[in-house]
Amino acid sequence: MPKELKLPAIEVKQSRGRTLYTFAVDGKLVPQFATISRVRRKEDGALSGYQRPEVLSHIDEIRSYLESDSPMVPNALVVAFDSRVKFHPDSKAVTSEYSRSGVLTIPFEPEMEDDRKPGFIVDGQQRLAAIRDANIERFPVCMTAFITDDVGQQTEQFILVNSTKPLPKGLIYELLPGTSARLPSLLGKRRLPAQLLERMNLEEGSPLHKMIQTATNPGGLVKDNSILRMLENSLNDGVLYRFNAAEEANADTEQMINVIYAYWTAVKEVFKAAWGLPPKKSRLMHGAGIISMGLIMDAISDRYRDRPYPTAAQFATDLMGLKEFCRWTAGFWDFGPGLQRKWNEVQNTSKDIEVLTNYLMIQYKSKVWSAPVAAIGSPKKEASGASKSSRAAAKR
């Protein structure tokens, strides 16, 4: 005999007779009364269903988060119920012209076949799958539901919910430094670079002060993604890696900022004519220039590997050896026989970045690397471009 799940709920009347129901339920119970209508083709070629297949990597990310110390999933799942689901208002409860509380009654059977279940998940498939697979006893979630026997209306809502424009990536990256909770791996890897970028952009002593284009600084010259890629390269296998740690909280960000400021202060000094111009007028401020020069930072630092990092003066000395080969604002890059490129034909593509980086690296190794290492000052004593007070002011 079918069972019934009775849940406290609120009925919300929207325009033109549309009615929604909001309630809380243990996510582990949802698969007993709701299924996922995945997109598939019938034998006659007709399209059936509307959900996309489960993305296992995304589900694993959510599952790991749910198994952490204090997870929270504030956004509601959306489910479409057929007319077997009933709402019974509470006559004694306080009501308004558009809402009232009551009880939502959902029929279910523990072994009910998917095509007999009264509910269809419209939004929240991956979250629900993660809750299903997570090694936790239960996890209550918020759900929003509407009742209809019209599959077309279910599909319509699925399209509307999933076609909403997502947050711009740039805004997400700008929000990352203010977070501390566990994040999906792709975002987690960008949190430290985003923290460094924030300081580079906000600290008054930074050579790139307010020059990085972000959601809150749209007038910046250098794209935030170019800076992030430059930082990620160095954190993975460059000078910043020396100050990184397995645990993000233990990374020596002060030393990272010191070397970043020392290097880009030197770049600013050596390439004065190309510095601070829009990317269309200077390939130094272009994604290709930023990323390739970031790799040169790592190469110079490797030459001075007997110390934590080179001073700004030492960076500048080595960069001077490259100056005659750079065509940031005019002329032609001589990448080799048949590979001459006009200065502004270098694009922000993986291929062009690789060509430019290889060219600069070859020139650096052949013209500078073999020269005696400049013994100028000490990185601990030389100003790196920002006072401690100005840095502290930019920290969250």
Three-state secondary structure readout of 231-300: HHHHHHHCHHHHHCCCCHHHCCHHHHHHHHHHHHHHHHHHCHHHCCCCCCCCCCCCHHHHHHHHHHHHHH
Q: For residue 336, is pLDDT > 90?
A: no
pLDDT at 102: 96
pLDDT at 374: 63
Give yes or no for a contact between 253 and 195, defined as CB atoms under 8 angstroms apart. yes
pLDDT at 386: 41
Give yes or no for a contact between 191 and 231, defined as CB atoms under 8 angstroms apart. no
Q: For residue 128, is pLDDT > 60?
A: yes
- DSSP structural state of residue 17: G
Q: Which of 116, 134, 162 is the last residue of a domain?
A: 162
30 and 147 fall within a common domain: yes
**H-helix segments, the chain:** 30-33, 56-66, 125-133, 151-162, 169-175, 185-202, 224-237, 253-270, 287-303, 312-323, 350-367, 388-394
189 and 151 fall within a common domain: no
Mean per-residue pLDDT, 83-111: 91
Give yes or no for a contact between 283 and 360, defined as CB atoms under 8 angstroms apart. no
Mean per-residue pLDDT, 289-307: 94
Nearest to 324 by CA among 268, 270, 269: 270
238 and 276 fall within a common domain: yes
Round the average pLDDT of the chain to a whole number and report it. 86
Share of the chain above pLDDT 90, in %: 60
101 and 230 fall within a common domain: no
Q: Which of 144, 162, 180 is the last residue of a domain?
A: 162
Mean per-residue pLDDT, 11-34: 92
Rounded to whole angstroms, the Cα distance separating 263 from 314 reads 9
β-pair partners for 21: 11, 145
pLDDT at 324: 94
In the numeric block, the tokens 């935030």 are attached to 224
291 and 376 fall within a common domain: yes
Q: What is the pLDDT of residues 172-227, one digit of tens each?
A: 888 888 777 777 777 788 889 999 999 999 999 999 999 999 988 889 999 999 99
Q: Which of 98, 129, 162 is the last residue of a domain?
A: 162
Domain range enclosing 85: 3-162
154 and 279 fall within a common domain: no
In the numeric block, the tokens 């590997």 are attached to 305
208 and 140 fall within a common domain: no
| Separate counts of helices (H) and strands (E) for the chain | 12, 14
In the numeric block, the tokens 């694993």 are attached to 60
Number of structural domains the chain divides into: 2
Q: For residue 39, is pLDDT > 70?
A: no
Record the pTM: 0.69
Mean per-residue pLDDT, 257-264: 97
Q: For residue 235, is pLDDT > 70?
A: yes
157 and 177 fall within a common domain: no
Listed range (1-10, 38-47, 104-113) with the worst mean pLDDT: 38-47
113 and 56 fall within a common domain: yes
pLDDT at 194: 92
Q: Which residues contact 262 (CB under 8 A, 6 or more apart)?
A: 309, 310, 311, 312, 315, 379, 382, 384, 385
184 and 321 fall within a common domain: yes
More confident residue, 251 or 353: 353
Which amino acid would we find at residue 372?
Answer: P
125 and 210 fall within a common domain: no
pLDDT at 255: 95
pLDDT at 378: 44
pLDDT at 388: 39
Give yes or no for a contact between 376 and 317, defined as CB atoms under 8 angstroms apart. yes
134 and 174 fall within a common domain: no
